[in-house]
């Protein structure tokens, strides 16, 4: 089943024609109504007449998170206040949050793309959705909620955290579909095991995971631990929220469909901003061609991935690879670029490690050093006992092999610190940071 077969399988020339039509209407609107965009165009020496098709987008300057902050809270809104029906804001760890507004049409688009995503993930009308994304200013909870309602699912709005209650609801309400961050799915899987909950007794079949980077290593742990089929959902509030892209449950590992009739993607070089060809890795940039209240031109997501067409796929829309990380989260260690996800994928090959890990970054003199803190499997951890860990020959061998693996694959020597099972921080409901940056603590 596809939610909107006509659009999801639209032939590429038709999809391009639709995108071009939406884009040209949009640039005229933004130029006339938003002073920020008029300035952007004027300074670049272009007019809306220069933008006739998506291939012309490269002429337009990027819109960045700082531009949203500079126009805080509502200066990028295009419609009058009384046509704005919802306002969300992203957390913003420093300074003011970034604010986004939705008109009725935007909320309809949001529901539509989430409904498509749910179906791609395996959900069907009549099923129940256990929604463990946070409700509130964060778009996750309400975004999934609206799409599931549109699809005809019963939504259980659990929100994030309170693991006891989550487990009770999974057991008693028997939802077939659940959604949360991948790190929280790890927590739930572990808690099921700890409490002796037989996952075969649960009804949940599909888990829709996103809001933070994750790899097949975590997928394997969550699928086994919760007895589910787990797919990736991607999104950000500036573009709409969750449902910008979604992986199909029968095409796992081949990337997530970007609903490109609404969100036109580009990949650009992170240093020069030059557009890159399909398949090359760079910064993901979106133009929200159909949005009404706060459309954005060439929004610099800061997320690193590649985009490509998959001719063997069920749908015609372009796919994106898993996000390697945010450009901001990239560590530069002795001249080598490093994302935590690059270490995560390597854990998969070690049956005695579990993907509970954290990279600890410190500075020795002028050099950045990275230590990988990683947990031992529960069984080996129990067999050895906490006190014997560092002296244990098997652990020493594991450390040696893992260091070697990292060196061969990433090109860096890293210290590996093996911890007993349960010692590394877990997600208590939301996003989890895999990096502990001691350099920041030092400079405080």
The residues that touch ligand ADP, with contacts defined as CB under 6 A, are: 90-91, 138-139, 210-213, 232-237, 301, 303, 323, 326
**In the complex with ligand ADP, which residue's Cβ is closer, 27 or 331?**
331
**In the complex with ligand ADP, which residue's Cβ is closer, 8 or 212?**
212
**In the complex with ligand ADP, which residue's Cβ is closer, 426 or 431?**
431
**In the complex with ligand ADP, which residue's Cβ is closer, 48 or 241?**
241
**In the complex with ligand ADP, which residue's Cβ is closer, 204 or 233?**
233
**Which residue reads 């996952």 in tokens?**
199
**In the complex with ligand ADP, which residue's Cβ is closer, 140 or 175?**
140
CB of 179 to ligand ADP, least distance (A): 11
CB of 102 to ligand ADP, least distance (A): 14
Q: What residues form DSSP beta bridges with 402?
A: none
Q: 170, exposed or middle or buried, with CB in 10 Å at 0-12, 13-18, 19+?
A: buried
Residue 408 CB-half CA count within 13 A:
7
CB of 99 to ligand ADP, least distance (A): 12
Helices (H), 330-374: 340-347
- The angle formed by the CA atoms of residues 383, 355 and 209, to the nearest 5 degrees, is 140
CB neighbours (10 Å) of residue 301? 22
CB of 322 to ligand ADP, least distance (A): 6
CB of 98 to ligand ADP, least distance (A): 7
Alpha-carbon distance 171 to 158, whole Å?
13
CB of 235 to ligand ADP, least distance (A): 6
What string of DSSP letters covers 280-306?
--EEEEEEETT-SSS--SSEEEEEEE-
Q: Cα(first)–Cα(last) distance of the chain, in Å? A: 54
Alpha-carbon distance 365 to 368, whole Å?
8
**In the complex with ligand ADP, which residue's Cβ is closer, 235 or 295?**
235
Host H or E run for residue 384: helix 378-384
CB of 416 to ligand ADP, least distance (A): 25
């Amino acid at each position: 089943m596809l939610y909107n077969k006509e659009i999801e399988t639209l032939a590429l020339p038709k999809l391009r024609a639709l995108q071009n039509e939406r884009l040209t209407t949009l640039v005229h609107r933004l130029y006339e109504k938003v002073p920020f965009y008029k300035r952007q165009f004027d300074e670049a020496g272009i007019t809306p007449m220069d933008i006739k098709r998506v291939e012309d987008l490269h002429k337009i300057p990027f819109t960045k998170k700082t531009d949203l902050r500079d126009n805080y809270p509502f200066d990028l809104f295009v419609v009058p206040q009384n046509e704005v029906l919802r306002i969300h804001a992203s957390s913003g760890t420093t300074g003011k949050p970034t604010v986004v507004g939705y008109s009725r049409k935007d909320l309809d688009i949001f529901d539509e793309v989430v409904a498509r995503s749910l179906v791609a993930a395996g959900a069907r009308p009549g099923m129940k959705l256990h929604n463990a994304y946070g409700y509130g200013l964060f778009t996750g909870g309400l975004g999934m909620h609206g799409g599931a309602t549109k699809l005809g699912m019963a939504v259980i709005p659990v929100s994030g955290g309170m693991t006891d209650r989550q487990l009770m609801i999974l057991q008693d309400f028997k939802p077939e579909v659940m959604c949360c961050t991948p790190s929280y799915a790890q927590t739930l899987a572990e808690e099921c095991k700890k409490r002796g909950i037989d996952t075969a007794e649960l009804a949940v079949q599909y888990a829709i995971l996103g809001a933070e980077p994750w790899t097949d290593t975590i997928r394997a742990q969550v699928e086994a631990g919760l007895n589910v089929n787990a797919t990736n959902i991607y999104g950000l509030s500036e573009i709409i929220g969750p449902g910008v892209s979604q992986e199909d449950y029968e095409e796992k590992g081949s990337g997530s469909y970007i609903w490109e009739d609404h969100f036109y993607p580009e990949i650009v070089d992170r240093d020069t901003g030059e557009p890159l060809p399909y398949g090359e890795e760079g910064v993901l940039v979106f133009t929200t061609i159909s949005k009404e209240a706060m459309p954005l031109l060439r929004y610099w997501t800061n997320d690193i991935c590649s985009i490509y067409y998959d001719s063997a796929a069920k749908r015609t829309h372009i796919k994106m690879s898993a996000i390697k990380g945010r450009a901001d989260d990239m560590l530069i260690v002795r001249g080598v670029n490093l994302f935590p996800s690059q270490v995560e994928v390597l854990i998969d090959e070690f049956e005695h490690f579990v993907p509970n890990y954290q990279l600890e970054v410190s500075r020795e003199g002028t050099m950045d050093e990275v230590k990988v803190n990683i947990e031992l499997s529960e069984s080996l951890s129990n067999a050895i006992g906490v006190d014997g860990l560092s002296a244990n020959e098997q652990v020493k061998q594991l450390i040696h092999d893992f260091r070697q693996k990292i060196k061969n694959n990433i090109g860096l020597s890293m210290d590996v610190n093996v911890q007993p099972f349960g010692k590394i921080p877990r997600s208590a409901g939301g996003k989890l940071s895999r990096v502990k940056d001691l350099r920041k603590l030092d400079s405080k």
